[in-house]
Amino acid sequence: MDRVYNFSAGPSMLPLPVLEKAQSELVCYGSSGMSVMEMSHRSTMYEEIIAKAEADLRKLMNIPENYKVLFLQGGASMQFAQVPLNLLSAYKTGKADYINSGNFANLAIKEAKRYADVKEVASSKDVTYTQIPDWDEKEFREDADYFYICGNNTIYGTRYTKLPETGKVPLVADLSSCILSQEYDVSKFGIIFAGAQKNVGPAGVTIVIIRDDLLGHSLDICPVMLDYQTMAEKGSMYNTPPTYGIYMAGLTFDYLLANGGVPAMYEKNVYKAKLLYDYLDESKLFSNPVRHCDRSLMNVTFVTGDADKDSAFCKAATAAGFVNLKGHRSVGGMRASIYNAMPVEGIEKLIAFMKDFEAKNA
Ligand SMILES: *Cc1c(COP(=O)(O)O)cnc(C)c1O
């Protein structure tokens, strides 16, 4: 069986060399005589694995010294609660400003409302999230405990190309579907978090990058396990971390460093996305609904405008080895998720297939 071009939004494609390396070490890692899955997280060998993963991520993202890197569990969705539980008493105002840019921002808002005085300072709901909301800085509250954005909207296919200026208010960003796809100046953020299963590794690990001064302010009701301080003090090992997932993420970091790092990925991602958007813009059958300046590099949505044609397309694409192109169940249509691991060739072949489908179905 050949590998397919997998356009899944997540869990999604991993670089083949990463999978092959894991395969070669699966049963016996180094001189350990055991699999990483079977290894104590307190062993010297595992400590080296997690330390290298952290060091490599720090190199890839130029993470400053005054930020901690945590490898947690619970997915990005856990962060929707963990962020307010930890940051709301940083300045003790209980206020949090959110930009509503789509489904995952909405879920974060809903969760934060359980603990915080939430203000939605901008929203693109009225245009069904086909753009990043335009914001007016006058709406931002200077005394908010934090300001929250979702950097790339996986379902709607939009991304921020500039960040809101939040002054002293810490900027928190969900970068689940864009981490390591482009360079970010980490020093502009209070917290960056990302589930691993989009651009890093298997599901089960959540990366949290947090500025030191934001540790140690959790609400009294915050469970010990969800207090960033607990995990920061224990090097992500207050309890058993997702050991194998961290090892796999480490393999991806190592692979990225050996292949030009984030700048090289960004260049390739811009090229891949442009190929696809250029085709969509000239196509008479398919179109992309997103405001051009906000188009995601990672998740490219498209529709024919006819639900039957959409499903005929997905079916034919699957048969031809282009899988998981169906859009999110909440929006329909199609979506090609083209994370770092999707080769240029996958995009070129998909476009050739779409052109062929268009010629037969326009
Ligand atoms: C996938 C995704 C999530 C949800 O991640 P889980 O790990 O399933 O909780 C949250 N935010 C964004 C931007 C995502 O792409």
Segment-wise mean pLDDT, segments of 10 residues, the chain, 362 residues: 94 98 98 97 98 98 98 98 92 89 98 97 97 98 96 98 97 98 98 98 98 95 97 97 98 98 98 98 97 98 96 97 94 96 98 97 82
pTM comes to 0.98
Same domain for 184 and 286, yes or no, is no
- Ligand 1 center–CA 270 separation, angstroms: 22
Last residue of one domain, picked from the residues 258, 291, 317: 258
Same domain for 268 and 183, yes or no, is no
Contact 75 CB / ligand 1 (< 6 Å)? yes
CA distances from 259 to 55, 56, 283, 340, 341 (A): 17, 13, 34, 11, 12
Top mutation candidate among 98, 106, 154 for ligand 1, by most atoms within 8 Å of CB: 154
Identify the CA nearest to 61 among candidates 169, 166, 188. 188
Same domain for 265 and 137, yes or no, is no
State residue 155's pLDDT score.
97
Same domain for 176 and 202, yes or no, is yes
- Ligand 1 center–CA 361 separation, angstroms: 34
Same domain for 143 and 177, yes or no, is yes
3-state helix, strand, coil in the chain (%, to 5): 40, 15, 45
CATH number of the domain where residue 290 is located: 3.90.1150.10
Contact 159 CB / ligand 1 (< 6 Å)? no
CATH number of the domain where residue 246 is located: 3.40.640.10
Same domain for 172 and 286, yes or no, is no
Same domain for 252 and 268, yes or no, is no
d(CA 249, CA 237): 16
The pair of structure tokens assigned to 220 is 């009294």
Residue 100: helix, strand or coil by DSSP? strand
- Ligand 1 center–CA 323 separation, angstroms: 20
- Ligand 1 center–CA 77 separation, angstroms: 6
Same domain for 168 and 310, yes or no, is no
Same domain for 10 and 48, yes or no, is no
What string of DSSP letters covers 102-160?
Answer: SHHHHHHHHHHTTTSEEEEEEE-GGGTTSSPPP--GGGS-TT-SEEEEESEETTTTEE-
d(CA 340, CA 264): 10
- Ligand 1 center–CA 329 separation, angstroms: 15
The pair of structure tokens assigned to 330 is 């909440």
Identify the CA nearest to 309 among candidates 283, 290, 291. 283
Number of domains in the chain: 2
State residue 1's pLDDT score.
79
- Per the structure, the complete domain to which residue 291 belongs is given by 5-15+261-361
Residue with tokens 């949505």: 301
